[in-house]
Structure 1
Amino acid sequence: MDTSEDPLLPQVHGPIPRDRFHLVYLIFYLLGLGSLAPWNFFITASEYFKYKLRNTTQPESEYLDPQYETELQAMFESYLVVANTIPNLAFNFITALIIQRICLKTRMIFSLVLVILMFVLTVSLVKIDTDTWQSAFFSVTLVTAVLISSGGSILGASLFGLASLFPSQYVQATMTGQAMGGVFAAVANLVTLAIGSHVVDSGLVFFMFAVFMAVLTFIGYGCLYCIGYSKYHILEIGSTIAIDVNSHEDDVNYIDPDHGCSYYINILKKVWKEGLSVCFVFLVTLSCFPAITSSIVSVEKTPTEWSEKYFSALVCFLLFNCGDWSGRSVAGSVQWPKYGQSNILLVFSVLRVVFIPLLMFCNAQPRTSPMMFHSDVFPVVFILLLGLTNGYFGTLAMMYGPRRVPPEKAESTGAMMSTFLTTGLVSGSLIAILLMKSL
């Protein structure tokens, strides 16, 4: 079909545009960073929320003392997990199903605007005295968390769908950017610990940075439509689908062999191994991190600043996130198992389950079961390897999945892979609750 005269299709004269100065790659890195950084900063500010929900009859400095813990403080983290996981999984599925019905621009812009508005609301409440209406603040915070998680889920699934229209290294850029969001949050947490800033001021900085990152992501996405290389890939795939549909629109006897449920089933048949791989990778990781890893304390008998103040922040959060970021970065240049070795990738993804007993046998507290590893070296090594393998194998699976389908199905496949990933996250979070009770 000759499309040279159709003004709606991309007109390419001469060679296909190149990604000059790797600008589009860097934008996808930014989009990955911006898709998770806001939520990372939201959960990093857990002490801020505990301060807001504290027992106001006691001195402010005692807001973390277990003996003065309020009911709202005790419920907050478990409610926050529910407010994140359920909408996250639900909207990943919904996005994967509507990806052909609601255009990419609408999904991306709607989700980013929603996240920005919710963080602006969160920032506006930081300096307001909420001591007299803590229950209402608790409810507003949870509703905000649900909306942020919903928007972030639509954004994440749409972003992986978008990245799947490009060569596989752009999926890797997105994955690596997401890991960098975790590193930023962990570093910010360490800085606030080191300078000893007030918890409210720390919360304000976290949320303002989240707003900044969401706005920057919005701008980065808009820039993709101003660069020849990204415009070509986005419009070329769209035109392929449009041509396929339009070529049969006047044929009343034509029956589309690949529509509705069949469309998704055919994709699933091709990518189920990669999907299960990424699901298992994140299931194992979320079973361990952060629930078990953050409960590991130093084996030093004498309390020191290292063991009391920095051990968890450095070993649990920063070390894991740096390992995760490194694994995702390496996956861009070193790829083994190779594309097509889906069985090997799935086996390695499942074998990561060994990290669960290894970390549980470290000095995780409180515990009733025996401890096997009596040195701080063991949790350092295990958590670093947990992060490295999470980033590496998870990124390989996300890169390989969209390559197994025709270009016109790449966007839907990317969203489907995101749903597998989120299913692993949610399943791992639920397993973590059971594992913590068995310590």
Structure 2
Amino acid sequence: MDTSEDPLLPQAHGPIPKDRFHMVYFIFYLLGLGSLIPWNFFITASEYFKFKFRNTTLPDDEYLDPEHETDLQAMFESYLTLASTAPNLLFNLITTLLISRIGLKVRMSTALFLITSMFVLTASLVKMNTDSWQDSFFWITMITAVFINIGSSILGASLFGVASLFPSHYMQATMSGQAMGGIFAAVANLVTLALGSDVVDSGLGFFLFATFMSICTLIGYASLYCINYSRYHILEIGNTLIVPVQVGEDTVETRPTRSNGSGNTKLIIKRIWKEGLSVCLIFLVTVSCFPAVASSVVSVNNTDWTEKYFSGLVCFLLFNAGDWAGRSVAGTFKRPGIGKSNLLLVLSVMRVVFIPLIMFCNAQPRHDPVIFNSDAFPVIFIMLLGLTNGYLGTLAMMYGPSMVMAEHAEMTGAIMATCLTSGLVSGSLMAILLMKSL
């Protein structure tokens, strides 16, 4: 049997296919965008959820009045944080441990189906009058958030794993796509504010777009198996070996077999621990500051314009633009270079300076005096926070898989994703403490 003509199997010999027209690169950009934009739009719809949990005995236009804040409104953000961070970290670890036992197609398709179905459910409840069963709607929302984050966790770990099978700039494309998701959400929020859109209609738009992007992500992933270049890396480099098998006295055929993709996990961690610790610290510092502390910074110039747009523009759009720029630059300008793990770790630790810098801006409410009493300071600090997060974080994520053999690249990418998620979880807990100390 001659398998050389089988289009589903990678070829053991011959020239490596080329990424024609950079199609695979742009697909990874789309996958990065689609992996985070659903959750970005979920949290962007915070006003919609506050409207759903409002005091229904008051006029609808007073649902954001702090004096009439309901218990459900007050609990929403803290419960949402718990519903996102806990399952995210747990299933990231589970995915890493089972990465060699559960196929990539199963993981990716299951995660995307779960995310899409949860957003369909969320969108279907938007126009429904939930005023008489707010408590039930609250817990439905929390359970939905849990399942969305389970899917996002499996998707993220698997995506970083498969990106690790390709040259490092494909990891950079994935990271840049994720940052672009933040920009999309920030721009959508500003447009909604400018147009004065109805809060319920805005929520519906956010959830429908998130559903659409989840479907596009699934289509993008499936298309990787239709392109020679990506099929070669996933099926041959991705833990698939072509081995000779004796099937008769004079007949030998080649068959694909699965290598031990997990390898020696301890040895992998020993080799990449500095890059893993770096990415953990980078995102720990970032999430400690953003969005909780950064979004509490208000303009020192109290005008209608700044009251309406300052947080959305300076905090969310500026940070995400800086983050995207840093991730994009990391693909061509790599300093410190690969092998400079100690310097990368030092720079990651040095970013802790952003925590006091942003806290001493005009973050409200507060008890301590404001040191940086000018709007220029939060603009500079938040921009640099995003820029360094994107640049150093992408370098760490690119360098980790580059330091192991190709057969261990997918496992290494998943381990790096776990380190990143650990930083996100730790940072969210740190943010709670920082907000209480203002």
Deviation at 1:259, TM superposition (A): 7.5
Q: Which moved more, 1:80-89 or 1:65-74?
A: 65-74
Per the alignment, residue 254 of structure 2 pairs with none
1:198 corresponds in structure 2 to: 198
Q: Report how far residue 370 of structure 1 moved.
A: 1.6
Q: Tell me the amino acid that sits aligned with residue 141 of structure 1.
A: T
Partner of 2:386: 387
Worse-matched range after superposition: 305-314 or 408-417: 305-314
From the superposition, tell whether residues 96 and 243 of structure 1 become closer, same or farther in structure 2 (CA, over 3 Å).
farther
Partner residue, 2:421: 422
Contact 1:189 1:313 in 2 (8 A): yes
Residue in 2 aligned with 1:97?
97
SS of 2:361's partner is coil
* Mapped contact 2:29–2:173 kept (Cα < 8 A): yes
Residue type of the alignment partner of 1:395: T
1:180 to 1:8, Cα distance in 2 relative to 1, 3 A:
closer
Aligned to 1:278: 279
Structure 1 140/92 Cα, relative in aligned 2: closer, same or farther at 3 Å?
Answer: same
Residues 338 and 314 of structure 1: CA distance in aligned 2, closer, same or farther (over 3 Å) = same
Q: Does structure 1 conserve the Cα–Cα contact (< 8 Å) formed by 2:120 and 2:211?
A: yes
Contact 1:109–1:218 under 8 Å retained in 2: yes
Residue 359 of structure 1 and its aligned partner are, at CA, apart by 0.5
Give the counterpart letter for 1:108 in structure 2. M
SS at 1:32's partner residue? Answer: helix
Q: Deviations over 1:287-333 (max 9, x none)?
A: 00011100000011xx3232210000000000000000000000011
Tell me if structure 2 keeps the 8 A contact 1:24–1:224.
Answer: yes
Per the TM alignment, residue 3 of structure 1 is displaced from its structure 2 partner at its CA by 9.1
| SS of residue paired to 2:206 | helix
Q: Classify 1:68/1:243 alpha carbon distance in 2 versus 1 (closer, same or farther; 3 Å).
A: farther
Could you say if the C-alpha distance between residues 55 and 95 of structure 1 is closer, same or farther in structure 2, counting changes exceeding 3 Å?
same
- Whole-angstrom distance in 2 between the partners of 1:435 and 1:95: 31
Provide closer, same or farther for how the CA distance between residues 134 and 242 of structure 1 changes in structure 2, counting only shifts above 3 A.
farther
Paired residues in the alignment total: 425
Whole-angstrom distance in 1 between the partners of 2:269 and 2:7: 34
Q: Distance in 1 between matches of 2:239 and 2:263?
A: 22
CA gap of 1:5–1:224, structure 2 versus 1, over 3 A, is closer
Describe the shift of the 1:241–1:437 C-alpha distance in structure 2 as closer, same or farther (beyond 3 A).
Answer: farther
Tell me: CA distance 1:27–1:262, structure 2 relative to 1, closer, same or farther (3 Å): closer
Deviations 1:8-28 (A, max 9, x none): 741266421100110000000
The answer on 1:150 being equivalent to 2:147 is no
Q: Helix, strand or coil: the match of 1:155?
A: helix
Q: Which runs of 5+ in 2 are unaligned?
A: 247-258
More deviation, 230-239/320-329 = 230-239
User: Do the aligned partners of residues 266 and 366 (structure 1) sit closer, same or farther apart at CA in structure 2, a change above 3 Å counting?
Assistant: same
Distance change in 2, residues 1:364/1:239 (3 Å): closer
Q: Determine helix, strand or coil for the equivalent of 2:371.
A: coil
Q: In structure 2, what is the equivalent of residue 187 of structure 1?
A: 187
Q: Taking structure 2 as the reference length, what is the TM-score of the superposition?
A: 0.94
Q: For 1:397 and 1:409, how far apart are their aligned partners in 2?
A: 17
Whichever residue aligns with residue 268 of structure 2, its letter is I
* Residue 378 (str. 1) matches residue 386 (str. 2): no
1:238: Cα distance to partner? Answer: 3.7
Deviation at 1:438, TM superposition (A): 1.1
**8 Å CA contact retained: 2:92, 2:154:** yes
1:237 to partner: Cα distance: 1.9
One-letter identity of the residue aligned with 2:432? I
1:155-176 CA-partner distances (Å, limit 9, x unpaired): 0000000000000000000000
Secondary structure at the counterpart of residue 126 of structure 1: coil
Equivalent runs, 1:119-158 vs 2, <5 Å: 119-158=119-158
Secondary structure of the corresponding residue to residue 78 of structure 2: helix
Quote the offset at 1:55 in angstroms.
0.5
The residue that corresponds to 1:251 in the other structure is: none
Aligned counterpart, 2:293: 292
Q: Report what 1:226 is aligned to.
A: 226
User: Mean Cα displacement is larger for which, 233-242 or 201-210?
Assistant: 233-242
C-alpha deviations, 1:390-418, integer Å up to 9, x for none?
Answer: 00000000000000110000000000000
In 2, the alpha carbon distance for the partners of 1:122 and 1:92 equals 24
- 2:238 touches 2:410 (CA, 8 Å); kept in 1? no
| Cα distance, 1:295–1:70 mapped onto 2, change above 3 Å | same
Instruction: Determine the structure 1 residue equivalent to 2:322.
Output: 323
In the alignment, structure 1 residue 117 sits paired with structure 2 residue 93 = no
Partner of 1:57: 57
Aligned twin of 1:347: 346
The answer for the alignment partner of 1:406 in structure 2 is 405
Structure-2 residue corresponding to 1:336: 335
The 1-side partners of 2:269 and 2:14 are apart by 36
The 3-state SS of whatever aligns with 2:23 is helix
What does residue 217 of structure 1 align with? 217
Instruction: Name the aligned partner's letter for residue 384 of structure 1.
Output: M
Distance 1:5 1:315 in 2: 56
State the AA in 2 paired with 1:20.
Answer: R
Q: What amino acid does structure 1 have at the position aligned with 2:320?
A: N
Does the CA contact (< 8 Å) of 1:160 and 1:171 recur in 2?
yes
Looking at structure 2, the residues matched to 225 and 8 of structure 1 have their Cα atoms a distance apart, in angstroms, of: 8
Residues 280, 424 of structure 1: 8 Å contact kept: yes
> Which whole-Å CA distance do the structure 2 matches of 1:373 and 1:413 have between them?
42
CA contact (8 A) 2:100 2:260 kept: no
Give the alignment's TM-score, normalised by structure 1: 0.94
Equivalent in the alignment of 2:251: none
Q: Matched residue of 2:125: which SS? A: helix
Q: Cα distance 1:269–1:4, how it changes in 2: closer, same or farther (>3 A)?
A: farther
CA distance, structure 2, for counterparts of residue 313 and residue 7 of structure 1: 49
Residues 29 and 173 of structure 1 are in contact (CA less than 8 Å); yes or no, is this contact kept in structure 2?
yes
- Relative to structure 1, the CA distance from residue 203 to residue 284 in structure 2 (aligned partners, 3 Å threshold; closer, same or farther) is same
CA distance in 2 between partners of 1:21 and 1:49 (Å): 43
Gaps of 5+ in 1: 248-257
- 8 Å contact from structure 1 (residues 9, 239) kept in 2: no
